[in-house]
Chains A and B, each alone.
Chain A
Amino acid sequence: MNATAPVRVLLGPQSPEPNVAQAVAASGLPDGPLAVVSAGWQETEGDIDEMRSVLARQLEDLHLYRREEQLLAALPELAAAARLRQEQLIEQQRLYRLRLKQLSLAARQVMRADGDADLLAAEQRHAIAQLRALDRHHLYRTELIWRRFSSVNGPDLHPELARHIREIQDIVDRSNGIVLTGGNVAVLINRLRLFEVDRMLEVNNVVAWSAGAMALTGRIVLFHDHAPEGRRDAEILCAGCNTVSGYVFLPDASRRLRKADRQRVSFFSRRFAPDQCIALDTGNELQLRGSAIVRVNGARKLGSKGRVSAVKVK
């Protein structure tokens, strides 16, 4: 464990019972103000009075959602480029989903097939390898779209964007850490990247829950086994901030994931290995220093054999 490394506190949903105050207290995070990113809440960004009363600290919202709206309204060129980027990302996701649907169906069928154990094991490995290759490809393609956008739309080319980034950096510098709330994970990651908060997260203490925790990982995995339109295969959205590497966080897993289905759990775990898939339900907590887990409360991991078991402090 690296005692000087920034604290990372990862939590499940803060509703109906928040545990952020206890988790922050247990983390040893020094008293003092915290910067907040609630951009995932979109129009209700900044509605943090309840959090303020729970944490009993000075909180300052970075208003990434509002800043982006202002910025794009003021800079039509940047707005057009951002729109193009989003259209490309949506189209890329659609194409990925088309391929994923077929590969995943085939893999699930092979996982459930009967027959010679050796033959089956080889086919199952290969089916999952194909899925993993598709996931890698998608991650690469989405990164390419982002890089193309960033290379010609960075703060060096847009002084107004640079001004926002400086303001955000100033607030972060005055704070003892950054809090990332839940919400729409795509909205959140887009703003974190645009305003380069991903870079700031790296060297600061971070407290994050749900979508906020997902955004900190190396790749954001979308999932919902009980979606009203029917079960969907888990999808990679894009790269996360990679502040916390080696994990896939699954918030609200008890409600969204069929954890009792061992084949499903095994499939999920093997597809995203070597990253550890960790379920974060309401009341759960995971604390890391660097990449080492130093405190666990209720968080559970998905195993390659299909079991869901308690995460242990390493």
Chain B
Amino acid sequence: MNPQLRNLFRKGTPDAAAIDAFIAAAEFPLVDGRDVTFVYRGAADAVHLRCWISGLDTAQPFQALAGTDLWATTIDLPKGSRIEYKFEVSSNGHRELVLDPLNGVLAHDPFGANSVCQGYGYERPAWTLADTGARQGEIHASRLHSTVFGEDRDIQVYLPARFRPKRRYPLLVVHDGVDYLNFAAFKVVLDNLIHALEIPAMIVALLQSPDRLVEYGADERHARFVNDELLPHMAAHFPLIDDPVARGILGASFGAVASLHTAWRNPGHFGQLLLQSGSFAFSDIGRHNRGPVFDPVAEFMNEFREQPGRPAERIYMSCGIYESLIYENRSLVPKLQEQGIDVRFEEARDAHNWENWRDRLRTGLTWLFPGPLWMVYE
């Protein structure tokens, strides 16, 4: 039992007032080195921890703590881990997924929010927090007509602080760009890293697909949209460095597939790729088992793995160790390196979520786009 809980029960069953005091004083979940104890208080028939960690059961049962309305379960969480979770509370035949009522730390994503467990040794990186001292870039709306998709497409464009039209800037194209802004503190990260001279001032095109599972799933139309329509639009409206080295694509999950696919279809156009938790499903033999939405992805990845070509000069990849996609990502690294591509691969004790992707941005961006820090001696 967790030492704090043991202490609560040391003189027998605690009364409601003692439990109130315990809950008010403790931080939840209870982290004791690698042992992390989740606590739920309330009437229920059963409580389960749902945390979608590859390698663990998707539902860990809680135990009722005798004589109280407390429930607890303990998992082993290695140092530096960060996981997102919910509680599944069963009562009178109903099951409900709820946030941890005792934990105010939340992570948001397009589907809502999850509770966050920051394991022993995890700290949110300072560069992901707004810094009032950092000069602020600006987000501008831009619209272009896409012949490929037969409609107008809205994009958002990040312009760095002290943007000057006479200067030329690198361009980064970001899939799910609005989600990156909302859930991965992307503007804060850009402002902070540019201010710290860790990356150069750059222009960022933030895309948001209306049908990402189709368009980002190795859809040839999307590759044409980015290369043949977005790039000329950006070059016509913004001062860009006309060099593949200064041109990159970023994406996570299906966005990483779209990034790799776009660069693969247009070799020599994008020098830098930043691929996070890529949904790089493939099948060496037989069929993949990830569902029909992955069919075009697996078809592309199978072809890509046979003939990778040279989609970019440098590729930064990251993936959570607690994702099932870790296998696909790990196995892609040597394939890329065999092509002479400079590849950097980073694993994190995290899962398939926006904060994992947020926390890896500094390493990826600074490696692909090193800033003038190297040249600046204040």
Contact = CB atoms under 8 A, between A and B. Distances in A.
Partners in one complex: yes
B375 A186 contact: yes
B372 interface: yes
B43 interface: no
Interface in B354-378: 362-363, 366-367, 370, 372-378
B10 interface: no
Given A229-B366, A229-B370, A43 B375 contact: no
Contacts of A46: none
B198 interface: yes
Given A228-B363, A228-B366, A184 B162 contact: no
B59 to A, nearest CB: 39
Most chain A CB within 10 A, of B373, B376, B377, is at B377
A132 B164 CA distance: 40
A214 B374 CA distance: 13
A34 interface: no
Contact of A211 (B363, B367, B376): B376
- Interface class of chain B by DSSP: helix
Interface string A220-264: 001010011110100001000000000000011000000000000
A182 B366 contact: no
Nearest to A90: B245
Given A227-B373, A228-B366, A229-B366, A15 B378 contact: yes
Contacts of B198: 228-229
Interface string A297-311: 000000000000000
A184 B373 CA distance: 8
- Sorting the interface of chain B by its residue count into under 10, 10 to 19, 20 to 34 or 35 or more gives 10 to 19
Contacts of A229: 198, 363, 366-367, 370
A228 B377 contact: no
Contacts of A228: 193, 198, 362-363, 366, 373
Given A228-B366, A229-B367, A182 B378 contact: yes
Contacts of B376: 40, 182-185, 211
A13 interface: yes
B250 to A, nearest CB: 16
B377 A182 contact: yes
B374 A232 contact: yes
Interface string A170-185: 0000000000001111
Most chain A CB within 10 A, of B367, B372, B378, is at B378
Contacts of B375: 184-187, 222, 237
A73 to B, nearest CB: 9
A184 B372 contact: yes
Contacts of A185: 375-377
Contact of B377 (A43, A183, A227, A232): A183
A15 to B, nearest CB: 6
Nearest to A212: B377
Contacts of B162: 43
A43 B377 CA distance: 16
B377 A214 contact: yes
A269 interface: no
A252 B374 CA distance: 12
A284 interface: no
A222 B366 contact: no
B370 to A, nearest CB: 5
B160 to A, nearest CB: 12
B374 A222 contact: yes
A182 B197 CA distance: 14
A228 B375 CA distance: 14
A252 B377 contact: yes
Contacts of B373: 224, 227-228
A228 B363 CA distance: 7
Contacts of A252: 377-378
A183 B363 contact: no
B378 A210 contact: yes
A227 B378 contact: no
Nearest to B368: A229
B367 A13 contact: no
Contacts of A214: 377
Interface of A: 13-15, 40, 43, 182-187, 210-211, 214, 222, 224, 227-230, 232, 237, 251-252
Interface of B: 162, 164, 193, 198, 362-363, 366-367, 370, 372-378
Give 8 closest A-B pairs by Cβ, nearest first. Answer: A229-B366, A210-B377, A211-B377, A228-B366, A229-B367, A182-B378, A251-B377, A228-B198
9 contacts: A14-B378, A182-B376, A210-B378, A222-B375, A228-B363, A229-B367, A230-B367, A232-B374, A252-B378
